[in-house]
DNA sequence: CGACGATTTGACTACAGTCAATGCTTGTGG
DNA sequence: CCACAAGCATTGACTGTAGTCAAATCGTCG
């Protein structure tokens, strides 16, 4: 029931070029632009840059490993389409997923500060990944300062999500952890425009969920079964439906505040410094 | 055995002015400059700015709450001296510490993206906190771009630490969690120049440790007792000594890589963009 | 000295893990 | 078109790590 397309779990990108434009593929460029626009207002030049970037991106099949922990890496990676997970493998064999990545997000951002990936990145679905070499990133500071500011703010946003996971793992019981994660993913998909009327796409297996929540596959299954029996969620095939949002939120302490950076995030860099009254970020 | 100075747990800063210069206080300015210099090379102007900032900082007593989760906040806070914790309180009464803050680090960085604090910040020791209003932060993009880049890279660094905590909470057993945390704090203190010959300052109570590791006070005590009996650590009063680093690291999977961003972090902003061969960051 | 906070210890409990077997989908190849 | 293989999901029985509750002790400060 997991991956519709079965392909070898690793190797080089299969296609390079104008990517992610299959019949049912969401337009990667659009998702990327929208995400940046949530944090900063983009100039026409910024949009052009991002568009070209995505056009040169590579397509990866499901379960493909995009980055490997510890391996030197001098690039930023931009996920232009599809879902991915960032995770760390432990010597004991366990695996801790650190975040779920949606289209428009940066993969392995820490490469800029460490020159290497601190964790691995794996595609959950077929997806599109663009690369920004470090030198190009450095150049962006002068050529597209707004994009750099956007990356900075996106970093703060993602840290808030990671932080919420930390709280879950540290102080919430199993049922709440799962509920919290489901609500978070649902909310993020809605905000990103990935949700459909029928529900939210959900390409994670129960093992993936276990690796996110620090639980075991067995126990995640018991929790999900319980949630279904209580008519809290519908989760079948690759789609999630939240049936009783209020009760799930109450029981898990979910407060979507951290998923909503204050909308009017004005330009933070360049000439707007100082007195400007923080214009609302245009949503394209 | 906790705090040498007993003071009310909240209220306004007691002193404002040239702060943190008590007989046994480490020079706050120096710590701040050294931390930034780990990530970017500072200009004389950058150093002057930071120096002035710290001179105008406020002194807080131990256990003072500096920031409160959910409360609107339009400032960056720079911890110029002392120790602090960032944490979240749960409806169930529990508390999850998200990070330990050492001198030179930013408190509540997410305020820039959210306009409010997502978690509380409390002093562990007496300490010095400077404030950078949002407008001033925006201005920094033009006046001191290197400092902004420094903040960006420090953000990536801190995310790596948070990530490591997440891994601990999700997939490491109690003993390893505690060991990993102790090694991390020891390492960070060494790198920051806070460690003494006799050992590392350690102002956390066992309850604090429990709130960091997602354990209970009782269990943390059992783990610490066990570590002492096995001659792995010495932990008394306010000082930690690692007696068997290798064994602790092996058992907890501690790899200090994430605490060591690649040293030659050249200027990332401004005119250096592109081909420059990444000069080594001068350590002042 | 007395009080408060921090630490230590013990007895008992329970949430989640482990191990193992079975059932269900889905896609592929005969 | 059907059967089989592979991966994923489900269920049960038992275990163990860490939590809970409670009391005693220690240390420091006032």
State pLDDT tens for residues A159-168. 999 999 999 9
| Distance of B8 CA from C2 C1′ (whole Å) | 21
**Measured distance CA(B220)–CA(B205) in Å, rounded:** 10
pLDDT of A26 reads 53
Which residues does chain A have within 8 Å of residue B94's beta carbon, measured at their own beta carbons?
171
**Do residues B227 and B233 lie in contact, with contact meaning Cβ atoms separated by under 8 Å?**
yes
At A1, is the pLDDT very low, low, confident or very high (cuts 50, 70, 90)?
A: very low
Cβ neighbours, 10 Å, residue B32? 25
Report, as an integer, the average pLDDT of B71-92.
95
Q: Is residue A119 part of a domain?
A: yes
Return the percentage of chain A with pLDDT > 70, whole number: 83
pLDDT of A284 reads 25
Cβ neighbours, 10 Å, residue A92? 11
The number of domains in chain A is: 1
pLDDT of A236 reads 84
Q: Is residue A139 part of a domain?
A: yes
Is the Cβ atom of B218 within 7 Å of strand C at any atom?
yes
- Asked which of A53-57, A123-127, B107-111, B273-277 is least confident by mean pLDDT, the reply is B273-277
Cα-only R_g, chain A: 19
Output the domain CATH number for residue B54: 2.60.120.10
Q: Is residue B29 part of a domain?
A: yes
User: In which domain, by residue range, is A173 found?
Assistant: 15-272
- Bridge-based pairing state of the strands B106-107 and B75-81: antiparallel
Report, as an integer, the average pLDDT of A238-246.
94
Q: Is residue A146 part of a domain?
A: yes
**Measured distance CA(A8)–CA(A184) in Å, rounded:** 30
Report, as an integer, the average pLDDT of A220-235.
96
**Do residues A84 and A66 lie in contact, with contact meaning Cβ atoms separated by under 8 Å?**
yes
> Over the stretch B117-137, which tens digit does the pLDDT of each residue have?
999 999 999 999 999 999 999
Residue B32 has which token pair?
A: 């701040």
Q: How many Cα atoms within 13 Å fall on the side-chain side of residue B93? A: 1
Q: Is residue A127 part of a domain?
A: yes
Backbone angles phi, psi at B213, to 5 degrees: -95, 0
DSSP chain B: ---SS---SSSS-SEESS-S-STT---HHHHHHHHHHTTSPPPHHHHHHHHHHHHTPEEE-TT-EEE-TTSB--EEEEEEES-EEEEEE-TTS-EEEEEEE-TTPEE-TTHHHHSB-SSEEEESSSEEEEEEEHHHHHHHHHH-HHHHHHHHHHHHHHHHHHHHHHHHHHH--HHHHHHHHHHHHHHHHHHHT---SS-EE----HHHHHHHHT--HHHHHHHHHHHHHTTSEEEETTEEEES-HHHHHHHHT--GGGG---S-----SGGGTTT---PPPP--
pLDDT of A212 reads 98
For residue A59, give how far its alpha carbon lies from the nearest alpha carbon of chain B (Å).
Answer: 27
Q: Look at chain A and count its residues.
A: 284
Give the sheet arrangement for strand A120-123, strand by strand: A65-67, A120-123, A84-89, A95-101
- Say if residue B185's pLDDT is above 50: yes
Dihedral-angle region of residue A91 (phi above 0 means left; psi in -120 to 50 means alpha; beta otherwise)? alpha
**Measured distance CA(A264)–CA(A282) in Å, rounded:** 9
Facing residues of B67 across strands?
B121
Distances from the Cα of A256 to the Cα of A38, A85, A161, A274, B159, angstroms: 16, 21, 10, 30, 20
At B236, is the pLDDT very low, low, confident or very high (cuts 50, 70, 90)?
A: confident
A163: nearest CB among B92, B98, B152: B98
| Distance of A45 CA from C3 C1′ (whole Å) | 68
Which residues does chain A have within 8 Å of residue B73's beta carbon, measured at their own beta carbons?
none
> Over the stretch A25-61, which tens digit does the pLDDT of each residue have?
456 899 999 999 999 999 999 999 999 999 999 999 9
Which residues does chain B have within 8 Å of residue A151's beta carbon, measured at their own beta carbons?
152
Q: Is residue B201 part of a domain?
A: no
Q: Is residue A2 part of a domain?
A: no
At A262, is the pLDDT very low, low, confident or very high (cuts 50, 70, 90)?
A: confident
Report, as an integer, the average pLDDT of A221-234.
96
Positive or negative: CA dihedral B183, B185, B191, B196: negative
Is the Cβ atom of A7 within 7 Å of strand D at any atom?
no
pLDDT of A93 reads 87
> Over the stretch A171-182, which tens digit does the pLDDT of each residue have?
999 999 999 999
At B263, is the pLDDT very low, low, confident or very high (cuts 50, 70, 90)?
A: low
pLDDT of A195 reads 87
Is the Cβ atom of B95 within 7 Å of strand C at any atom?
no
pLDDT of A28 reads 80
pLDDT of A27 reads 66
pLDDT of A197 reads 83
Q: Is residue B191 part of a domain?
A: no
Residue A250 has which token pair?
A: 């109450």
């Amino acid at each position: 029931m997991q991956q519709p397309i079965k392909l070898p779990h690793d190797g080089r990108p299969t296609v390079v070029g104008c990517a992610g434009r299959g019949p049912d593929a969401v337009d990667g460029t659009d998702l990327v632009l929208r995400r940046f626009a949530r944090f900063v207002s983009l100039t026409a030049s910024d949009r052009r840059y991002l568009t070209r970037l995505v056009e040169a991106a590579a397509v990866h099949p499901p379960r493909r490993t995009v980055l490997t922990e510890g391996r030197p890496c001098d690039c930023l990676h931009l996920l232009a389409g599809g879902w991915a997970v960032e995770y760390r493998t432990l010597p004991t064999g366990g695996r801790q997923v650190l975040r779920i990545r949606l289209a428009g997000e940066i993969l392995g951002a820490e490469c800029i500060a460490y020159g290497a990936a601190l964790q691995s990145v794996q595609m959950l679905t077929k997806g599109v990944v663009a690369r920004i070499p470090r030198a190009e990133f450095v150049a962006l500071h002068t050529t597209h300062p707004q994009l750099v500011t956007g990356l900075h703010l996106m970093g703060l946003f993602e840290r808030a999500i990671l932080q919420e996971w930390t709280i879950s793992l540290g102080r919430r019981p199993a049922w709440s952890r799962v509920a919290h994660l489901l609500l978070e993913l649902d909310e993020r998909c809605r905000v990103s425009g990935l949700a459909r009327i029928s529900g939210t796409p959900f390409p994670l297996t129960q093992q993936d969920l276990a690796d996110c929540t620090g639980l075991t596959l067995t126990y995640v299954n018991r929790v999900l079964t319980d949630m279904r029996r209580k008519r809290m969620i519908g989760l079948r095939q690759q789609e999630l439906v939240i049936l009783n949002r209020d009760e799930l939120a109450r029981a898990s302490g979910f407060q979507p505040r951290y998923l909503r950076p204050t909308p009017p995030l004005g330009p933070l860099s360049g000439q707007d410094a100082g007195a400007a009254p923080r214009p609302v970020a245009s949503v394209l």
